[in-house]
Amino acid sequence: MTDLQFTVLDLQPEPFAAAPLLTARLRVDEGTGAVVHALALRVQVRIEPQRRAYSDDEADVLLDLFGGRARWSETVRPFLWTHCVTLVQGFTGSTEVDVPLPCTYDFEVSASKYLHALQDGEVPLVLLFSGTVFTRGETGFAVQQVPWDSEAGYRMPVAVWRRTMDDHFPNSAWIRLGRDQFDALHRFRTNHAMIGWDDTVELLLDRAAAEILP
């Protein structure tokens, strides 16, 4: 049986990607000296928010996700960020491979809400590995499964996430609207001859604030 160990060496934005993408540099070590012909690797990336501290400003933004601090002992739990797959070419001993991690800035996704709330510091991640190992067998190829408990931790600087989003959506954020709400907002923008969506939303916010004030 092969003995595989995984280490995350680095995690950086992919500068020439058409959509937001991070690249994880991964080292794979095989401890028995077996010849690995190929490795079909699946990676689940999870965020472990309980492994860092938060400022009051960050806590305010995270209220929608975790509730107030008084509830955090119950609500702050690890959650899924993304899945990815890659094919590792044959090796003996150890090898390094780049693993693409697709990202989204959709604020309906918990991970996007969480990452947007962070101002600095690091994001505690754990990468869980599974997949199929193709090795040399007595009659040719042998097939094994990556052990279910294979994982690697990594603390990604918040600046890496912010740089990734700024490269694709500079000074922007994304929200999803229902079609009826979008059509109504579009009519409001057209009827008021607003130049852009920022101006449209700002006008609506000003009107709402004026109605709330005594």
Distance CA 93, CA 27 (A): 11
193 pLDDT band, cuts 50/70/90, is confident
H-helix or E-strand spanning residue 110: helix 110-117
Residue 173 lies in a domain: no
Contact present, 165 and 106 (Cβ < 8 Å): no
Residues 183 and 162 in one domain: no
Q: Are residues 108 and 139 in the same domain?
A: yes
H or E element at residue 13: strand 4-13
Task: Give residue 213's pLDDT band: very low, low, confident or very high (50, 70, 90).
Answer: low
Q: How far apart are CA 32 and CA 36, in angstroms?
A: 11
Same domain, 104 and 199: no
Question: How far is Cα 213 from Cα 177, in angstroms, rounded to an integer?
Answer: 27
130 and 191: one domain?
Answer: no
Distance CA 186, CA 88 (A): 48
pTM: 0.81
User: Do 118 and 183 belong to one domain?
Assistant: no
Q: How confident is the model at residue 196 (pLDDT cuts 50, 70, 90)?
A: confident
Contact 6, 127 (CB under 8 A): yes
186/164 same-domain check: no
- Which structural domain range is residue 142 located in? 4-168
Segment 76-101, tens digit of pLDDT: 999 999 999 999 999 999 999 999 99
The secondary structure element, H or E, covering residue 102 is: strand 94-102
Cα 52 to Cα 114, 123, 169, 205, distances in angstroms: 13, 8, 27, 34
For the domain that residue 79 is a member of, what is the CATH number?
2.60.40
pLDDT digits (tens, 9 = 90+) for 121-154: 999 999 999 999 999 877 778 899 999 899 999 9
Same-domain pairing of 151 and 207:
no
Residues 161 and 197 in one domain: no
Would you state the structure tokens that stand for residue 93, as one six-digit string? 């001993």
Count how many domains the chain has.
Answer: 2
For residue 142, what are the CA distances in angstroms to 4, 56, 179? 15, 54, 53
- Report the distance separating Cα 18 and Cα 57, nearest Å: 32
- Summarize the confidence of residues 95-114 as an average pLDDT: 88
pLDDT of residue 214: 56
pLDDT at 197: 79
Q: Is residue 154 located within the same domain as residue 199?
A: no
